[in-house]
Amino acid sequence: MRRIAVTNQKGGVGKTTTTANLGAALALLGRRVIVVDLDPQANLTLHLLGGRETPPRTTYSLLRGECGFGEILVPTELPLLRLAPATVDLAGLEVELASVVGRETLLRDAVASFESSRAGTPPDGPTPAQEDVADFLLLDCPPSLGVLSLNALVCAREVVLPLQTEFLALQGVSRLLEVVDLVRGRLNPVLHLSGVLACMVNPRTNLAVEVLEEIRSFFGERLYQTRIRENVRLAEAPSHGKTIFSYAPDSNGAADYLRLATEILERALGRSLPPVDLTLQPARPEPPPAEPDGPPPGTATPAAAPATEGTAGSPIPA
Ligand SMILES: Nc1ncnc2c1ncn2[C@@H]1O[C@H](COP(=O)(O)OP(=O)(O)OP(=O)(O)O)[C@@H](O)[C@H]1O
Ligand SMILES: [Mg+2]
């Protein structure tokens, strides 16, 4: 299972929109996906469940140790996409966990015990049900670097960093990259920045072109070729409780997120995938080809972005 934290401590850059619609696109491409809402704003939950009743168990209950990861998962409009929902309760967790030793590893431990209890196949035991395992775990982080984001970074193997192509797009990014370094050094040696995503791009403005150039010179190959264009349909879909693929399947937003999912799969496989028809019928669950969890081929560390590859120097911030 690829575990990806979608994170940027800057607010409103497209983290939740990306988690919801990238998750949906991967599901439409036949991958089994779990998206996890780690933000007390619960925007991901509202986006995917709309006005449906708030599930009784959430990431708050999970991180308080009241239930297991599998128990909080709820279905969405797509058969291959499940959600670990959140509520505003999560806002209190930072304080509640202040004196708990090992609070940064709670999510990782919960997911590990879910994986080992569900995915492990004893040699002569029954095959686990297909819906009990996933190919992708996408973690939607809040716009802060507190205990919730740290739990995501400790649980994940990859970081995807959405950036808005606006003035000061890279502001605060070096702090985030330092935290990624710290987490890698202290708690999670496999964590790496696997991709940077330009969101809400208006290619007609000079500013967007200049900022994209700046992002490319800083991150090199790690900048996804796919750009998410500014698209009002993406902004409208959450209020209908739908992903872009059911709300506006012919929109640029749907095309861009499908292209992003394809690029992510192709990077891992090291080859092109056949084009996909955007009529977007939910794909049947098929065992996907093996996709490595590590850094994809051809995404070697760019010389201009050394901050993510350094070693840890100081303790993880509380
Ligand atoms: N490509 C896009 N085009 C137009 N609007 C977009 C696009 N992507 C996201 N939006 C809108 O921009 C706003 C911020 O997006 P989103 O909620 O995904 O950001 P976020 O980083 O998760 O924010 P927060 O830090 O508050 O959690 C939302 O209203 C969303 O609908
Ligand atoms: Mg968000």
pLDDT greater than 70 at residue 55? yes
Per residue in 116-158, pLDDT (tens digit) is: 876 544 445 445 554 447 999 999 999 999 999 999 999 999 9
Please write the tens of the pLDDT for every residue from 193-218. Answer: 999 999 999 988 888 888 899 999 99
- The gap between the terminal CA atoms of the chain, to the nearest Å, is 28
Q: What is the pLDDT of residue 53?
A: 85
* Mean pLDDT over each residue of the chain, to the nearest integer: 85
At residue 286, the pLDDT reads 46
pLDDT at 118: 64
Label residue 273 by pLDDT band (50, 70, 90). confident
Instruction: Report pLDDT digits (tens) over 60-87.
Output: 999 999 999 999 999 999 999 999 999 9
Q: Considering every ligand atom shown, identify the ligand nearest to the alpha carbon of residue 197 and give its number.
A: 1
Distance CA 31, CA 262 (A): 11
Residues touching ligand 1 (Cβ under 6 Å) are 11-17, 39, 41, 43, 143, 199-200, 228, 230-231, 234-235, 238
Residues 308-316, mean pLDDT to the nearest whole number: 32
Q: Does pLDDT of 17 surpass 90?
A: yes
By DSSP bridging, strand 33-37 and strand 158-164 are unpaired
For residues 92 and 63, is the Cβ–Cβ distance under 8 A? no
Given this structure, which CATH class describes domain 2-274?
alpha beta
pTM for this model (two decimals): 0.86
> What is the residue-wise DSSP string for 225-249?
EEEEE--HHHHHGGGGT--HHHH-T
pLDDT at 283: 44
Query: Is 185's pLDDT higher than 70?
Result: yes
Answer whether residue 301 shows pLDDT above 80.
Answer: no
Tokens linked to 317 = 């911030």
Closest atom of ligand 1 to 256 CA is 1
Residue nearest to atom 31 of ligand 1 (CA): 235
Average pLDDT over residues 156-172: 89
Least distant ligand from the CA of 10: 1
pLDDT of the residue at 196: 96
The predicted model gives 86-108 an average pLDDT of 92
Atom of ligand 1 nearest to the CA of 232: 4
The predicted pLDDT at position 276 comes to: 65
Q: pLDDT class for 238, splitting at 50, 70, 90?
A: very high
CB proximity list for 78: less than 8 A, separation 6 or greater: 24, 27, 28, 243, 245, 282
Residue 257 tokens read as 């997120």
Q: How confident is the model at residue 306 (pLDDT cuts 50, 70, 90)?
A: very low
Point out the ligand nearest to the CA of residue 21: 1
Q: Give dist(CA 112, CA 106) in Å, integer.
A: 10
In order, the DSSP letters of 125-152 are SPPPPGGG--SEEEEE--SS-SHHHHHH
For the chain, give every domain's residue range. 2-274
Model pLDDT, residue 27:
97
What integer pLDDT is reported at residue 117 of this predicted model?
79
Q: What pLDDT does residue 133 have?
A: 73
Which of 29-38, 69-78, 252-261, 297-306 is the least confident region?
Answer: 297-306
Closest atom of ligand 1 to CA, residue 8:
21
Task: Please give the pLDDT value at position 51.
Answer: 80
